[in-house]
């Protein structure tokens, strides 16, 4: 580790040595001329330097070069290029507005960033899809969904048919960090996973890192999904929305003070429960979700900008007056951008995030209760970017979070209830992360970014930990791992830091450009995860919960290396990438067989520390320009787990291990009115545990199981199609009215894809049988979208 620090210091000092006394800096923000939205990833190219800069997440850029006259070009795909000549005799602030190209001139694009990004950028294992493209992809029930669109890219797989929970490069569902305006979203699903919580109308930009994750991110093993909400139109008011078969959405945005502040409010509500009264079987059922995004930003000065954004969403599922469960995320982020000078940019954020779930059970006046659980975070983070010179950019900062966990609280609903009030003690923890990274461009063809993240996780009192007999939180007996016997309890006082774990997480990304159209890239990352999702069924029902690392549950650690070859063809209109990765994981949280996680304070007794390995090759070929666009993605991969006394101590397949995963997305624009789009997906079936025998107990047949996840369900495949009809834009006196109709069919040929495979006795024959459950067969939908 000492060597690592020495190397880091040397490299940073080497970078500093190239500073020249006569250099000047031009900097500023690049925004959309129509809406004032800052453009993330816009390209600034300096002709004389044959080099340039890219705007950051807040549309800010900075470039340092010698005094002189320069030809500067600002580009952002889908927007008209702007050329300007500047004479630099001193530092200069240059804020630029770019205009969206008229639709007739605009080529359909997959990404909204620089055209040779695939080859030139020092980023690999990163997935971006333009939000406009997401809206053209045919998806379940016509609901544009950024997570489901991501699941069509290599290395990202759905946890089930129509499910928004994702498996990234063989990681668990909880190995993905999902951020909405920097706030952690602990459950990104509505309706037990069939919809994501992200309303695409409120999303400006998103990026998924499945490898090579920069040092400013951490806390999960597999991926980071960084979603940025729109700021709101700073130029004029607009209303947009969509009316779908089962849900609708509405967004209102506009200036509070023109060009100084703006707001956005976007809401969504499902209404499929309106159909429930039509059937006697469902007339008392409740199943709905809703969410609301809001954001306001204010330009305090040329150097200071304030953003406040919030999200809240809620799901309800149950039967009226009898029982039900609900869950929801709430987040709030207050951000302050400050430009110290032309080279130093600071973002400070204060973030609140809460995920709660609740179960109501009220079947009689004396048999009822309500159970609640939650995780609540309050964070403060700072991210500094120092644009030292065109060859060196330093990023550093910290992210500290106070976590509060309520594992469970039960209260009777009525005073007559026989259920006693009870609560598992709250848990508290402080997670701290400090990072520094250096983007270094030593020679024209080679770039690297290396960084180091120090993560520290402390359990804080008041709290208590159990002491187990023989120091064993669980033990192996008669073929099963069983919970250990608690022999004592250690109590910790309020505010006492009673256990701390720390990890150094090095990160590295490198690119070597072979020529203008091809490059080689490599990355390495170590990730540490201190929060773990305890879940013993695949679907989200409120029984699952997050728990912190403790003295008895070690942090999960992963190391991933990846290498890739990137090539563009035909003037960057066709992109090819091939990436290979290997990821090893340790201390993965594996539930013991027959784990009892319901209202169990001694949760550490129900898990064992496991190991994991995942490796694979990902191919992506995509066409980004022309009337026909889209991509073909193929992943060949394997993911396995191992844990003491589980599966006879042998490696076993991860449940979502899929050897082959192929996706094809094609969009063809016939003319300005009609666009046809289609997806095809083929995936190896999930691994599952099957019975190898049977026996009879008390007159009932019981299955005898052998190896874990040893068999596979048949392959999954489906075709989806959509047709978008966009009528000619009507011009009114005060505003333009844009609208379109999207007709889509999910699973066109109606394949009964296995969702699950169950084994039970056939009631008609009395013999054992296997049953598959399938969900969606040929689901048609129509959505009307509007904007004025």
Binding to another protein, residues 728-767 (CB under 8 A): 752, 755-762, 766-767
Q: How far apart are CA 427 and CA 547, in angstroms?
A: 8
Given 10, 340, 670, 771, the residue binding another protein (CB under 8 A) = 771
State in angstroms the smallest separation of the CB of 163 from another protein. Answer: 9
Two tokens, residue 397: 């900062």
Q: How far is the CB of 686 from another protein (least distance, A)?
A: 10
User: Could you say which residues in the range 586-645 bind another protein, by CB under 8 A?
Assistant: 591, 593-596, 598-599
Establish if 419 lies at the interface with another protein (CB under 8 A). yes
Residue 520, token pair as written in the block: 């080689």
Q: Which tokens in the block code for residue 314? A: 């809620």
Residues 319-358 that bind another protein (CB under 8 A): 319-323, 325
Binding track, positions 136-175, relative to another protein; x by CB under 8 A: ------------------------x---------------
**DSSP classification of residue 38:** B
User: What is the C-alpha to C-alpha distance for residues 283 and 301, in angstroms, rounded to an integer?
Assistant: 56
Decide if residue 414 touches another protein (CB under 8 A): no
Question: How many residues make contact with another protein (CB under 8 A)?
Answer: 84
CA atoms within 13 A on the CB side of 272: 17
359-398 mask for another protein (x: CB under 8 A)?
x-x-xxxxx---x---------------------------
The DSSP result for 284-323, as a single string, is: TEEEEEEEEEEEEEEE-SSSEEEEEEEEEEEEEEEETTTE
57-65, 141-149, 337-345, 697-705 -> range binding another protein (CB under 8 A): 697-705
Smallest distance from another protein to CB 641, Å: 12
Closer of 276 and 398 to another protein (Cβ) = 276
Q: Which of 539, 578, 632, 715 binds another protein (CB under 8 A)?
A: 539
CA distance 584 to 203: 33
> Among 443, 471, 693, 733, which residue interacts with another protein (rule: CB under 8 A)?
693
- Give strand pairing partners of 46: 51, 72
Contacts of 488 (CB under 8 A, 6+ apart): 466, 467
Nearest distance in Å: CB 289, another protein: 15
Binding segment toward another protein, per CB under 8 A, in 9-17, 390-398, 458-466, 530-538: 530-538
Nearest-approach distance from CB 193 to another protein, in angstroms: 8
Interface residue with another protein, options 516, 694, 736, 737 (CB under 8 A): 694
Alpha-carbon distances, residue 623 vs 207, 469, 638, 664, 671 (angstroms): 19, 62, 28, 11, 18
DSSP 100: B
Q: For residues 277-316, which are near another protein according to CB under 8 A? A: 281-282, 284
According to CB under 8 A, which one of 132, 391, 482, 717 is a site residue for another protein? 482
Which residues lie across from 265 on neighbouring strands?
Answer: 252, 294
| Encoded tokens for 52 | 């340039």
Closest residue by Cα to residue 240 from 268, 259, 271:
268
**At CA 413, angle to CA 407 and CA 419, rounded to 5?**
70
End-to-end CA distance of the chain: 58
Of 678, 669, 675, which Cα lies nearest the Cα of 741? 675
Among 73, 411, 541, 573, binds another protein (CB under 8 A): 541
Helix or strand holding residue 7 (H, E) = helix 2-16
Q: Kindly calculate the radius of gyration of the chain based on its CA atoms and give it in whole angstroms.
A: 27
- Residue 13 has a CB neighbour count (10 Å cut-off) of 9
Closest separation between CB of residue 172 and another protein, Å?
Answer: 13
Which strand (E) or helix (H) includes residue 602? Answer: none
Footprint of another protein on 219-278 (CB under 8 A): none
Counting contacts by CB under 8 A, is residue 486 touching another protein? no
3-state secondary structure at position 16: helix
Binding string to another protein for residues 31 to 70, with x set by CB under 8 A, is what? ----------------------------------------
CA distance 79 to 132: 14
- The piece of 62-70, 138-146, 256-264, 476-484 that touches another protein (CB under 8 A) is 476-484
Q: Which is nearer to another protein, 64 or 689 (CB)?
A: 689
CB of 709 to another protein, least distance (A): 9
Tell me, what DSSP letter sits at residue 461? S
Token readout for 162 is 């129509």
- Name which of residues 173 to 192 contact another protein (CB under 8 A): 192
Q: Among 8, 92, 520, 690, indicate the residue that binds another protein (CB under 8 A).
A: 690
Let me know: does 465 contact 601? Beta carbons within 8 Å: no
Interface residue with another protein, options 423, 578, 701, 723 (CB under 8 A): 701
Are the CB atoms for 412 and 401 separated by under 8 Å? no
Q: Which is nearer to another protein, 558 or 606 (CB)?
A: 606
Question: Least separation, in Å, of the C-beta of 648 and another protein?
Answer: 13
Which 704-733 positions form the footprint of another protein (CB under 8 A)? 704-706, 708, 710-711
213, two tokens? 């994750």
The dihedral through the CA atoms of 267, 245, 537, 419 has a sign that is: positive
Find the binder of another protein among 256, 487, 772, 780 (CB under 8 A).
Answer: 772
| Residue number, 578 or 775, with CB nearest to another protein | 775
Closer of 171 and 242 to another protein (Cβ): 171
Closer residue to another protein (CB): 84 or 706: 706
Nearer Cβ to another protein (627/760): 760
The answer to whether residues 87 and 67 touch, using CB atoms and an 8 Å cutoff, is no
Of 512 and 651, CB closest to another protein: 651
């Amino acid at each position: 580790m000492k060597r690592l620090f020495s190397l880091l210091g040397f490299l940073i000092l080497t970078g500093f040595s190239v500073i020249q006394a006569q250099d000047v800096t031009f900097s500023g923000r690049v925004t959309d001329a129509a809406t004032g939205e800052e453009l993330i990833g816009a390209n600034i190219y300096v002709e004389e330097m044959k080099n340039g800069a890219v705007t950051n997440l807040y549309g800010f850029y900075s470039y340092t070069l010698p005094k002189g006259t320069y030809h500067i070009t600002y580009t952002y795909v889908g927007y008209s290029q702007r050329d300007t000549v500047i004479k630099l005799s001193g530092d200069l602030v240059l804020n630029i507005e770019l205009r969206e190209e008229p639709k007739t001139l605009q080529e359909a694009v997959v990404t909204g960033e620089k055209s040779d990004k695939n080859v030139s950028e020092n980023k690999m294992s990163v997935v971006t899809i333009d939000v406009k493209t997401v809206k053209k992809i045919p998806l379940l029930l016509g609901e544009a969904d950024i997570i489901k669109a991501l699941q069509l890219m290599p290395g990202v797989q759905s946890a089930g048919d129509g499910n928004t929970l994702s498996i990234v490069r063989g990681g668990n569902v909880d190995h993905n960090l999902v951020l909405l305006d920097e706030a952690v979203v602990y459950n990104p699903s509505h309706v037990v996973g069939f919809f994501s919580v992200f309303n695409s109308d409120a999303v400006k930009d998103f990026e998924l890192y499945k490898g090579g994750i920069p040092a400013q991110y951490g806390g999960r093993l597999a991926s980071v999904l960084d979603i940025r909400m729109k700021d709101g139109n700073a130029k004029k008011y607009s209303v947009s929305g969509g009316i779908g078969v089962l849900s609708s959405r509405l967004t209102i945005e506009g200036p509070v003070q023109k060009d100084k502040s703006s707001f956005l409010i976007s809401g969504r509500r499902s209404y499929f429960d309106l159909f429930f009264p039509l059937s006697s079987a469902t007339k008392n059922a409740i199943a709905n979700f809703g969410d609301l995004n809001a954001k306001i930003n204010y330009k305090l000065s040329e150097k200071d900008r304030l953003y406040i954004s919030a999200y809240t969403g809620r799901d309800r599922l149950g039967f009226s007056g009898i029982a039900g469960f609900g869950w929801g995320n709430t987040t709030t982020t207050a951000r302050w951008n400050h430009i110290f000078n032309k080279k130093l940019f600071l973002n400070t954020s204060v973030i609140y995030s809460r995920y709660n779930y609740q179960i109501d059970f009220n079947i009689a006046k004396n048999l009822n209760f309500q159970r609640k659980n939650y995780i609540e975070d309050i964070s403060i983070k700072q991210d500094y970017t120092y644009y030292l010179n065109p060859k060196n950019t330093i990023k550093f900062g910290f992210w500290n979070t106070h976590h509060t966990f309520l594992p469970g609280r039960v209260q009777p609903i009525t005073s007559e209830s026989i259920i006693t009030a009870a609560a598992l003690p709250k848990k508290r923890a402080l997670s701290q992360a400090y990072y520094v990274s250096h983007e270094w461009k030593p020679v024209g063809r080679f770039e690297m970014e290396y960084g180091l993240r120090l993560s520290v996780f402390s359990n804080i009192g008041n709290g208590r930990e159990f002491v187990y007999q023989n120091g064993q939180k669980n033990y192996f007996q008669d073929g099963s791992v069983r919970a250990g016997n608690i022999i004592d309890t250690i109590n910790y006082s309020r505010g006492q830091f009673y256990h701390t774990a720390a990890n150094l997480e090095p990160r590295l990304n490198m690119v070597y450009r072979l020529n203008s159209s091809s490059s080689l890239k490599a990355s390495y990352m170590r990730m540490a995860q201190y929060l773990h999702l305890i879940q013993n069924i695949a679907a989200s029902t409120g029984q699952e919960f997050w728990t912190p690392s403790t003295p008895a549950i070690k942090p999960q650690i992963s190391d991933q290396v990846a290498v890739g070859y990137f090539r563009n063809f035909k003037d960057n209109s066709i992109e090819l990438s091939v990436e290979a990765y290997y990821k090893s994981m340790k201390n993965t949280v594996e539930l013991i067989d027959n784990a009892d996680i319901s209202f169990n304070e001694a949760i550490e007794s129900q898990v064992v520390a496991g190991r994991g390995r995942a490796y694979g090759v990902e191919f992506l070929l995509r066409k980004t320009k022309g009337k026909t666009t889209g991509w073909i993605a193929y992943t060949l991969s394997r993911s396995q787990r191992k844990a003491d006394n589980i599966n006879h101590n042998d490696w076993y397949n991860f449940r979502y291990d899929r050897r082959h995963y192929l996706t094809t997305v094609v969009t063809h624009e016939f003319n300005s009115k009609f666009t046809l789009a289609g997806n095809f997906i083929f995936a190896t079936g999930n691994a599952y545990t099957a019975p190898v025998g049977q026996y009879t107990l008390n007159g009932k047949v019981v299955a005898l199981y052998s190896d874990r996840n040893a068999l596979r369900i048949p392959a999954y495949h489906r075709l989806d199609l959509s047709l978008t009809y966009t009528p000619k834009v009507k011009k009114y006196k005060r505003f333009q009215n844009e609208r379109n109709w999207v007709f889509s069919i999910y699973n066109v040929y109606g394949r009964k894809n296995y969702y699950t495979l169950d084994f039970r006795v056939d009631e008609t024959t009395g013999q054992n049988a296997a049953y598959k459950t399938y969900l969606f067969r040929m689901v048609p939908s129509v959505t009307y979208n509007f904007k004025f």
